[in-house]
């Protein structure tokens, strides 16, 4: 079984259980105040297996599947060979943590702030794929044409940064932004250190 399918299965099971068990959700979601006050470091990871509702879960898992399979089975395999699946799993789970670190420092003294969901890790997977193939076509059901990956990436980062600065709402724009940045950095550094490939140089050649 692929790492992508295994993550989807585990995330779906935990999320569905959490829908009917609010106390479990409360015990596992990302809560900077309790992490700081009670030392509940596990919340840096467990929040990634929870979702607010069915649509939140479906959207994240469909997005993850769309890019995760391509990344795990083709793009990472081409770059890293036998290490591809291990590196894919490492990137996914570390991105769950990395994507919320800025929010931890921002909200560690505010008891009201809590969040959940795999959006930061999904963003990391999407941007990892774009880093390897900048011109990969991305299409949404409401847009009847393909968008080059790097164009989507730039627009997504700018919009996420603007919405995070604005604040309000129930969407973790900060996690989206930092998860995306982490996916880019992880992929670039891993390609450079393990495979001796400079993806920034490849990006410039592909785009310009």
Model confidence pTM above 0.85: yes
Interatomic CA distance for residues 17 and 29, integer angstroms:
13
Provide the angle, in degrees to the nearest 10, between the axes of the packed helices 199-207 and 119-132. Answer: 70
* Per-residue pLDDT, 181: 97
Span 200-204, average pLDDT: 88
Structural contact between residues 203 and 131, judged by C-beta atoms closer than 8 angstroms: yes
CATH number for the domain formed by residue range(s) 3-207: 1.20.1540.10
- Rounded to whole angstroms, the Cα distance separating 110 from 34 reads 10
Higher confidence at residue 118 or residue 166?
118
- Confidence label for 94 from pLDDT (cuts 50, 70 and 90): very high
Distance CA 167, CA 183 (A): 23
What pLDDT was estimated at residue 62? Answer: 93
Does residue 88 carry a pLDDT above 80? Answer: yes
170 — pLDDT class (breaks 50, 70, 90): low
How much of the chain exceeds pLDDT 70, in percent?
96
Which sequence spans correspond to the domains of the chain?
A: 3-207
> What is the torsion angle, in degrees rounded to the nearest 10, for the CA atoms of residue 36, residue 41, residue 45 and residue 46?
-90
Residue 171 in this model has a pLDDT that exceeds 80: no
Q: Write the pLDDT tens digit of every residue in 34-78.
A: 999 999 999 999 999 999 899 999 999 999 999 999 999 999 999
């Amino acid at each position: 079984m692929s790492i992508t399918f295994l993550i989807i299965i585990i995330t779906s099971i935990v999320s569905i259980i959490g829908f009917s068990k609010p106390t479990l959700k409360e015990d596992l979601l990302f809560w900077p105040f309790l992490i700081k006050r009670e030392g509940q470091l596990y919340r840096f990871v467990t929040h990634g297996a929870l979702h607010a509702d069915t649509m939140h879960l479906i959207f994240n898992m469909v997005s993850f599947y769309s890019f995760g399979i391509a990344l795990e089975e083709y793009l990472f395999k081409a770059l890293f060979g036998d290490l591809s699946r291990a590196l894919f799993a490492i990137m996914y789970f570390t991105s769950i943590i990395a994507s919320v670190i800025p929010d931890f420092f921002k909200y560690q003294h505010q008891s009201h702030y809590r969040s959940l969901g795999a959006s930061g890790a999904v963003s990391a997977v999407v941007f990892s794929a774009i880093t390897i193939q900048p011109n990969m076509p991305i299409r949404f059901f409401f847009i009847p044409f393909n968008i080059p990956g790097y164009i989507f990436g730039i627009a997504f980062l700018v919009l996420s940064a603007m919405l995070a600065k604005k604040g309000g709402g129930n969407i973790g724009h900060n996690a989206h932004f930092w998860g995306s940045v982490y996916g880019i950095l992880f992929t670039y550094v891993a390609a450079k250190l393990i495979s001796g490939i400079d993806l920034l140089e490849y990006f410039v050649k592909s785009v310009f």
